[in-house]
Structures are given as structure tokens and as C-alpha cells.
């Protein structure tokens, strides 16, 4: 409703005359009694729905009402009415957009929640986690009406992986530590079991050179437990990368204090040692004995069959593809207690992939739209590497590929890897964002081998890798859960990606 206030000289002889002439569905006036007469105050209330679709008698009345309103006020009223109509359209459009964004956000969050649920076992290599995720994605592609490639919806291959399928125990003194929260085990660790075993302290600050280190390693025994002090400074002094330090250790069990974030990974081999990285703030003040129970199983590639899941929407131009990719695998479980849900990395990217697949299934384009969900990314980009080496469709037919990884919070926009390699496509993305005002910022980054786009780029396929900037920093840990993702600007990002693909289909 819009109220327009004015003043005028029109005089009515009775309240009944005012009611007859002014009390209508469209306009009503406030009456002010002046003696025996009634004077309208031009407090006009306009019903916007009637205004947009007036009836015949309403139009006649509107003409009559003009006789009682001074010309200059009529002009002001027309201006205000036009302004109101424009503002109404703007408000309705904004409300509609907000409603659509909420709908898209709910849709994406549902997919993230499903893919990172406990039933998926971290989409890793125990409890058939990665297989459950692959089955789910294929089922969603089928439900959306996407077509299988000539080779089918899946591409299978294998690789070895080290797993920890059973209960895991690390107890220092009388304190039993919580796996995933208090400690992680090196992913390449071997099995080890000991009860109330004495821990031997090894001060690495006393080891000054490689000769001293070789001597010290010769004094370590396979059945013992060692508490290593000064690992970080030792690695810097010996020019050893911290993540590879444990691989240089001889067979034994090692407790390595670590300050700050604990992050896990995937290993395709094993090492002689069993190494625990323990958050230093949870270590008991006095710790002379420990209980350890770790069972590791190295699955050969014949026992660890993985699947790339793929489907497409046919276009009007045969054998040309615009491609979206995302990896669905994650780290799985560390023992039976610690589950790494991988909501941000990369249930979120997989959910965005599914959202775009659903949209383009309903809106076919000039080129075929190909969607690929890769496995084996966390193990070393293995799924995308296999796809490139055994392509179900010719790589030469791929006009552009966009890889999606970490799509849970775009509070600070996104970063585009390979932006410097493909400046025209990057400029297109920036222009679309400037026009639509989708996300706060699009940052440029050069070439990097940090996700599944890499092997395609190396094979000559024009490719972007896009990841979001924002969030709480949960990464490769047990806290990366669906309810920690804000999904800020994610619906808008989905629209930007959609529009980017549409423009690529029209030649940019």
C-alpha cells in the first residue's frame, strides 16, 4: 500500500457525497469536517494490486477524482505512483532472487550433508566408503536424466592404499588419547602393539649432522617406543621436509609432539616405522610408559578398485564438450573412531557438480555438458590421471574444463588456478561477475598441480581450477563437517558458474 498526502480546495456537501465519490476499492480519502462541509485531506491510499489491473468503473472514477485535485498535485501523484511501481518491481525481483538463492543453498547443503554423513565413512577405503559415494553419484546422474558415455557411467581402475580398519589405541601414562582430536598416525605407518612399554626420550637437538643422525638411528630398537624432542628444528637443520621425516625412521614406534593443527592424508605405500603426531597440549606432564595398538592393512590395487563417475547432457553440436569436474573421494577413517567427513573437501565441490548437472539437464546447450566425479584425488590425483591416460571421450573435443574443489564458503570470493594461462576465459569470468555482482572477488593464480585439472592442462585441455576463499579452516581433519559450512555466496557462485558455461557455449 502507498499513501500519498496532499491538500486541496475541493469541498463536499455531505459525508455521503464523499463516500459515494471517494470510497472505492482503489482510492479512499480521509475526511476532515469544516463546519457543515467535509474536506478531503488527500490522504490517498492506493491498493497496488487494483492499480496494476484497474476495472472499467475504477478508471472512470480515477478520471473524476482528478477534478477535485489541483494540477500540480496530480503531477506529483503521477510521479510518486510511477516511482512506487518501479520500486515495487525492484522489491519483488529482489525477493524472488533471495527465494531462489535460499532454495539453491538448501539443495546444495542437502547433497553435502548426504555425502559427508557417517554412512559414507569419509568416502575413503574402509567400510566401502568410496564405493558408497560412487554409487550415490551415479544414481543422482541417472535420476537427473543425464546420459552415460559409450563406455558407461563409470570408469574403474585400482591402486594400493594403506588403511587402519580396526580399533586404534594410544595411551600415555594413564591418559588415553582421542584419535583425530588428540593425535593422528602417519598414514604410511606399520602395525605396532605394546602394553605398558617404557618410552625412551630422544633429544634431536643434540644431533648436529647426518653422521650423528646415522649413529643415533643405529641405537634404536624395533620393539621400543621413542618420544622424539625437537623434530621441527632438526628437520630444518638437516634440510628434511617434516612430512617425510617419519619415512626415514627405522622400525619402531615414535611419539612426535606437534603444536597446532593436525591434518591427515592418504598413503599408497607403507614404511617400517609407526609414528604418532600428538598435540603437545594434551600430553601428560609425566609420561614414562605407553600403550599402543595399531593394525595397518596395505590393500593391493586388485583389492582397492575405484571408480570415476561420469555422465553428460547431449548438445546440438556433436562431439564437443564443456566439462565440469570435482573429486568425491576423501580420507576415510583412522581406526574405527576417527572419521574424516570431508564436507568442504570435497563434498561441497561434488554437490556443486551435481547442482550444475541438474540445471543443464533441464537446459541443454549448444555443446554437450560433461560432468565427471573423480576418485583417487587425495591419493595423488590418481583418478584424473587415469582418465587422461584412458579417455572415454577424446580430449581434443573438450573445449573447456572447470574443476571444482572446496566450495563451502565464498565469503571472500574465489581463486582461479590457471587464470594466467587462459586470460580470455578469466576476463570473461570477471566480466560476468561484474555484471551480475555474484561474489565479492575473483583472484587470479597461476599454474599449479594441486587438483584434478592439472593432468588435463598438461594434456592440452584448457582448464580452470576454482576454489572458494572463506570458512573456518577445517581441512583434512575430523572437524570438516557439513554443519560447519556457512555456504556464504555459494548459491550466487553456482549462478556465476552456470552463466560462465552458457557464455562458453555461445563462443564467449
pLDDT one digit per residue (tens) for the chain, 508 residues: 333 333 344 433 444 544 444 434 333 334 444 444 434 444 443 343 333 444 455 445 445 555 555 666 656 666 666 666 666 555 555 555 577 779 999 999 999 999 999 999 999 999 999 999 999 999 999 999 999 999 999 999 999 999 999 999 999 999 999 999 999 999 999 999 999 999 999 999 999 999 999 999 999 999 999 999 999 999 999 999 988 999 999 999 999 999 989 999 999 999 999 999 999 999 988 788 999 999 999 999 999 999 999 999 999 997 899 999 999 999 999 999 999 999 999 999 999 999 999 999 999 999 999 999 999 999 999 999 999 999 999 999 999 999 999 999 999 999 999 999 999 999 999 999 999 999 999 999 999 999 999 999 999 999 999 999 999 999 999 999 999 999 999 999 999 999 999 999 997 6
| pLDDT for the residue numbered 34 | 42
CA separation, residue 467 to residues 44, 84, 191, 350 (Å): 54, 41, 37, 12
What φ, ψ does residue 31 adopt, rounded to 5°? -100, 140
| pLDDT for the residue numbered 206 | 95
Domain 163-299 has CATH 3.50.30: yes
Helix (H) / strand (E) element for 473: namely none
Give CA–CA dist 449/297, Å, rounded. Answer: 29
Distance of CA 499 to the CA centre of its chain: 18
The CATH architecture one would assign to domain 122-158+320-505 is 3-Layer(aba) Sandwich (3.40)
Torsional sign, CA 337, 338, 344, 349? negative
**Cβ distance 189 to 273 under 8 Å?**
yes
| pLDDT for the residue numbered 100 | 75
**Cβ distance 411 to 473 under 8 Å?**
no
Give CA–CA dist 93/23, Å, rounded. Answer: 32
SS (H, E, C) 19-40: HHHHCCCCCCCCEEEECCEEEE
Phi-psi region of 39 (alpha: psi -120 to 50; beta: other; left: phi over 0): beta
| pLDDT for the residue numbered 457 | 98
Q: Give start-end residues of each CATH 3.40.630.10 domain in the chain.
A: 122-158+320-505
Give CA–CA dist 184/279, Å, rounded. Answer: 9
Give CA–CA dist 319/332, Å, rounded. Answer: 37
Strand partners, 254: 226, 275
| pLDDT for the residue numbered 88 | 59
Q: Give start-end residues of each CATH 3.50.30 domain in the chain.
A: 163-299
Helices (DSSP H) in 193-301: which residue ranges?
Answer: 210-217, 231-238, 242-245
pTM listed for this prediction? 0.82
Please tell me what DSSP assigns to residue 147.
Answer: B
| pLDDT for the residue numbered 85 | 66
Amino acid at each position: 500500500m502507498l499513501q500519498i498526502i496532499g491538500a486541496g480546495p475541493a469541498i463536499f456537501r455531505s459525508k455521503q457525497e464523499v463516500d459515494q465519490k471517494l470510497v472505492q476499492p482503489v482510492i479512499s480519502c480521509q475526511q476532515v469536517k469544516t463546519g457543515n462541509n467535509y474536506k478531503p485531506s488527500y490522504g490517498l491510499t492506493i491498493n497496488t494490486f487494483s492499480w496494476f489491473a484497474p476495472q472499467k468503473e475504477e478508471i472512470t472514477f480515477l478520471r473524476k477524482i482528478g477534478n477535485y485535485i489541483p494540477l500540480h498535485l496530480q503531477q506529483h501523484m503521477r510521479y510518486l505512483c510511477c516511482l512506487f511501481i518501479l520500486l515495487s518491481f525492484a522489491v519483488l525481483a529482489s525477493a524472488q532472487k533471495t527465494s531462489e538463492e535460499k532454495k539453491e543453498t538448501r539443495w546444495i547443503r542437502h547433497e553435502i550433508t548426504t555425502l559427508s554423513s557417517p554412512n559414507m565413512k569419509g568416502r575413503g577405503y574402509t567400510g566401502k566408503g568410496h564405493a558408497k559415494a560412487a554409487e550415490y553419484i551415479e544414481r543422482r546422474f541417472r535420476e537427473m536424466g543425464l546420459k552415460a558415455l559409450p563406455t558407461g557411467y563409470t570408469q574403474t581402475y585400482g591402486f594400493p592404499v594403506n588403511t587402519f580398519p580396526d580399533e586404534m589405541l594410544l595411551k600415555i601414562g594413564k591418559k588415553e588419547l582421542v584419535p583425530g582430536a588428540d593425535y593422528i598416525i602417519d598414514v604410511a605407518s606399520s602395525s605396532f602393539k605394546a602394553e605398558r612399554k617404557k618410552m625412551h626420550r630422544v633429544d634431536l637437538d643434540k644431533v648436529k649432522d647426518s653422521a650423528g643422525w646415522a649413529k643415533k638411528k643405529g641405537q634404536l630398537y624395533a620393539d621400543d617406543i621413542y618420544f622424539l624432542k625437537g623434530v621441527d628444528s632438526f628437520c630444518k637443520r638437516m634440510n628434511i621436509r617434516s612430512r617425510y621425516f617419519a619415512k626415514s625412521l627405522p622400525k619402531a614406534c615414535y611419539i612426535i609432539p606437534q603444536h597446532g593443527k593436525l591434518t591427515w592424508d592418504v598413503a599408497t605405500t607403507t614404511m617400517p616405522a609407526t609414528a604418532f603426531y600428538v598435540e603437545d597440549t594434551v600430553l601428560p606432564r609425566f609420561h614414562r610408559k605407553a600403550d599402543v595398538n595399531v593394525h595397518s592393512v596395505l590393500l593391493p590395487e586388485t583389492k582397492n578398485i575405484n571408480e570415476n563417475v561420469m555422465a553428460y547432457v547431449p548438445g546440438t553440436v556433436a562431439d564437443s564438450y564443456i566439462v565440469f569436474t570435482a573429486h568425491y573421494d576423501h580420507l576415510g577413517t583412522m581406526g574405527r573412531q576417527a572419521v574424516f567427513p570431508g564436507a568442504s573437501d570435497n563434498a561441497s565441490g561434488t554437490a556443486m557438480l551435481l547442482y550444475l548437472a541438474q540445471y543443464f539437464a533441464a537446459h541443454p546447450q549448444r555443446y554437450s555438458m560433461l560432468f565427471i566425479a573423480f576418485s583417487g584425488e587425495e591419493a595423488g590425483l590418481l583418478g584424473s590421471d587415469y582418465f587422461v591416460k584412458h579417455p572415454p571421450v577424446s580430449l581434443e573435443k573438450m573445449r573447456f574444463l572447470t574443476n571444482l574443489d572446496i566450495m563451502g564458503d565464498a565469503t571472500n570470493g574465489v581463486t582461479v588456478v590457471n587464470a594466467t594461462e587462459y586470460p580470455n576465459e578469466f576476463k570473461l569470468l570477471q566480466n560476468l561477475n561484474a555484471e551480475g555482482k555474484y561474489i565479492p572477488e575473483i583472484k587470479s593464480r597461476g599454474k599449479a598441480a594441486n587438483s584434478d585439472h592439472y593432468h588435463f592442462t598438461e594434456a592440452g585441455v584448457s582448464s580452470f581450477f576454482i576454489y572458494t576463499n572463506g570458512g573456518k579452516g577445517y581441512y583434512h581433519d575430523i572437524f570438516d563437517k557439513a554443519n560447519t559450512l556457512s555456504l556464504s555466496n555459494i548459491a550466487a557462485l553456482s549462478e556465476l558458474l552456470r552463466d560462465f558455461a552458457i557464455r562458453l557455449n555461445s563462443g564467449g
